[in-house]
Copies of this chain bind each other. A is one copy, B any other.
């Protein structure tokens, strides 16, 4: 089997534990499982130390004496057996027990398969986060959940929806409700999509494949991350024929790599390109930096995470290939190479949304990258309101999506009522991978149920009826900046501008 294929073989803890003898010895290192039987005698450190970890995870002991890549260089090929299930990894636990005065060292094999609640007991998006924090490795949860510096925008994203009040109308026949929505003209069973989020395999061996399969069944659009842990074509192949995918794009400093990716995308039937514009460099996510990263590889971009003097930020290190010289004039090239509609992901001002129209974009995803890029920026919903004040004409000129902080059906309806065509849901889908494809589907179902419930209680039966009159925006209005590039009342001008 090719190595890329082996990367997709998931080996259960039960399977690994079967190979614990000198005749048949497997170990796991950095999440990869190797058959080390033939290597036992060759090991410079002796066979005993390896046998101590037979049938279990040996990463920690390995790291104490070896460089990260050596084992794979040595044993790649037939000895490489596949990926260990990250949620079911046998560990060697040493305990010192004191019996009858004497201290005895007891070695025991344990599994880390954590007890998580049955999927059916999860009622809300928040429930998934609780499970994820418990189940994922500390590093994985830190990478997924972290946001820039003081987490202010991350928190504001969530709060901004709570500060929009709904104005329910009563005594309307709401027996039959439809939550269907056309997104870029494609019919979706709901007005939300899966926002791109990197490295889903950290959460579940099936990673982005599980999301694709769940979206296939539920007719939900998935925006594939440029840093997905599976190759683009594999993710598309995991879905069903005709399934709608969009692709997130980080433009590579080596432009030909981006050309290759865009070609692949077009061939794979991707329907739109979402150029990330809010992260020419990665944000400073301290929770991620504080935990060291080793050997995480993104299948699509080839980015490899490692530690440096700024910490072990997976997000930062994986972003090193991104071209920070990308600018408006590059959009024409992307459109030409891909032949696809181009969206800007991460627009944060009405002024840039207007420019997106001028530069022929199909749409914008108003977003602050889930608070992960620059801290203390305004929430996307405030930018949406800003557009109403500054350039409402663009609502007819491109599609406007919003992401960041969407956690409830009420959040979704408010955003649509204020003019967005659809909203994106990012982190929650990563968290839902704690249960694989079933988790993804359960999350989708919760959001759909909540949205339908919200519509009925608010007095509408289809999303075209969602209108600004349903929303009391008074709590956010004082935040809306007008005046375009200029400050509304400060006249002072700096010496120069870009």
Contacts and interface: CB of A to CB of B under 8 A. Distances in A.
A325 B474 contact: no
B450 A284 contact: yes
Contacts of A456: 280-281, 324
Shortest Cβ-Cβ A-B pairs, 9 listed: A468-B487, A170-B277, A374-B457, A468-B490, A175-B325, A464-B495, A464-B496, A173-B325, A472-B481
Interface stretch (A38-46, A254-262, A266-274, A375-383): A375-383
A479 B468 contact: no
Interface in A141-184: 149-150, 152, 161-162, 164-175
A171 B278 CA distance: 8
Interface of A: 120-121, 123-124, 149-150, 152, 161-162, 164-175, 277-281, 283-284, 286, 289-290, 309-311, 323-328, 330-331, 344, 346-349, 351-352, 355, 373-378, 385, 388-389, 392, 395, 408, 410, 414, 417-419, 449-450, 453-454, 456-462, 464-469, 471-475, 478-481, 483-487, 489-498
A284 B457 CA distance: 11
A475 B326 CA distance: 32
Contacts of A346: 170
Contacts of A290: 121, 123
A481 B486 contact: no
Contacts of A173: 324-327
Given A150-B162, A465-B498, A479-B475, A167 B454 contact: no
Contact of A167 (B161, B377, B459): B377
Given A309-B120, A457-B278, A490-B388, A166 B377 contact: yes
Given A349-B168, A450-B284, A374 B458 contact: yes
Contacts of A286: 123-124
Contact of A485 (B418, B469, B490, B494): B469
Contact of A479 (B351, B414, B472): B472
B480 A474 contact: yes
